[in-house]
Amino acid sequence: MANIMQLDSTYIAGTYARFPVQLVSGKGSLVWDAAGKEYIDLGSGIAVNGFGIADDAWLKAVTEQLGRLPHASNLYYTEPCAQLAAMLCQRTGMKKVFFGNSGAEANECAIKAARKYAAEKHGPDCCTIVTLVNSFHGRTLTTLSATGQDHYHELYQPLTPGFAHIPAGDIGALIELAKTTRISAVMIECVQGEGGVVPLSAEFVTELAEFCAENDVLLAVDEVQTGNGRSGQLYAYMNYGIQPDIVSTAKGLGGGLPIGACLLGEKVENVLGPGDHGSTFGGNPAACAGAVSILERIDDALLEGVKARSAFIFEALGSASVVESVSGQGLMIGVKPVKPAREVVAKCIENGVLCLTAKDRVRLLPALNIPMPLLQKAVAVIRDACAE
């Protein structure tokens, strides 16, 4: 293990502050390191392994497709991506899907679709996309520009122009901005993930949706982290009773393989034509076959289980005196401990539980089907780690 850590720090770009753990295998919500130590996984590879690690049905779907046709390019038709797109549209009311390989790529497509729609309909100066302060939309230069956190921007100037940021909850700021700036779209995360697991208020989301409908401004919802069952609904916007024009998703959709999807609603379904956008690996048959297996199992029974597990965590940690507050939706939960979050996470690792941080919070993103006994055990470890 020391050797791998050394190789990694010698040869891999230093973009990640890794924990000193080398993972070698996993099954469901358990994962093992190079020394054979077992951990309960409450991070799911950052909301990716929605049904746990190497979940049987997903593994079967992926390996069968790998043996049949792992990749084909977008010059030909293949079944898994067509089937997945149909399922996504049928369950959301969206009309068309573009597939890429990551959340950032899904958001790039959302941004291109919004720009082209507004340029064609309202003229090229109607291009500003409004996002929220404290948002996170990805690491490519354009999605970084969309991200409303200055500290990500500082050394990467010039950024892609055409983005403005308003504080979450402040509809007045949007109305004010619209007096001087022509707005093509508003893009939100219903629960700001990287920003500290902060849900938007129902009132604000309703006001945004009304503003967008009245002004022919597209409403784009970034469901990269919140999506695919994590919020207790298939997509978190469904907790708010709105119908977005664009939905981007990734992470949990793939169940462990890279995939991103941009769902286009009625207004924008035909905006992108041949040559307007593309992605060599987009719609990859193996990734899509896995995603079909994931999506078909996100049903009412699973979502009830997500809500029950969520209620348990809120109750168990919300009542602890060493916890200041618990935020989030479904199984996307932020715990603000009295002591620094990073110390709590380090203590949890020591005691066999993997969890994450988001700003000053301990972030929990367990598998949607994590067995209750494992979850109870892990929550006890977290509570102790907050106390020590």
Site string for ligand PLP, 263-292 (x = CB under 6 A): ------------------------------
**224 is a contact residue toward ligand PLP (CB under 6 A):** yes
Stretch that binds ligand PLP, among 73-81, 161-169, 222-230, 311-319 (CB under 6 A): 222-230
Interface with ligand PLP (CB under 6 A), residue from 33, 41, 108, 189:
189
Q: Do the Cβ atoms of 223 and 237 come closer than 8 Å?
A: yes
Site string for ligand PLP, 60-99 (x = CB under 6 A): ----------------------------------------
Interface with ligand PLP (CB under 6 A), residue from 28, 43, 80, 138:
138
Nearer to ligand PLP, 100 or 285 (CB): 100
Nearer to ligand PLP, 104 or 370 (CB): 104
Least distance from ligand PLP to the Cβ atom of residue 105, Å: 7
Interface with ligand PLP (CB under 6 A), residue from 97, 250, 294, 382:
250
Stretch that binds ligand PLP, among 112-120, 189-197, 304-312, 379-387 (CB under 6 A): 189-197
* 12 CB-contact burial (10 Å; exposed 0-12 / middle 13-18 / buried 19+): exposed
* Distant-in-sequence, close-in-space partners of 47: CB < 8 Å, separation ≥ 6: 193, 225, 230, 251, 252, 332, 365
Q: Which residue is nearest to ligand PLP (CB)?
A: 103
Size of the site for ligand PLP (CB under 6 A): 15
Least distance from ligand PLP to the Cβ atom of residue 193, Å: 4
Least distance from ligand PLP to the Cβ atom of residue 132, Å: 11
Nearer to ligand PLP, 33 or 256 (CB): 256
- Contact residues toward ligand PLP (CB under 6 A) are 102-104, 107, 136-138, 189, 193-194, 222, 224-225, 250-251
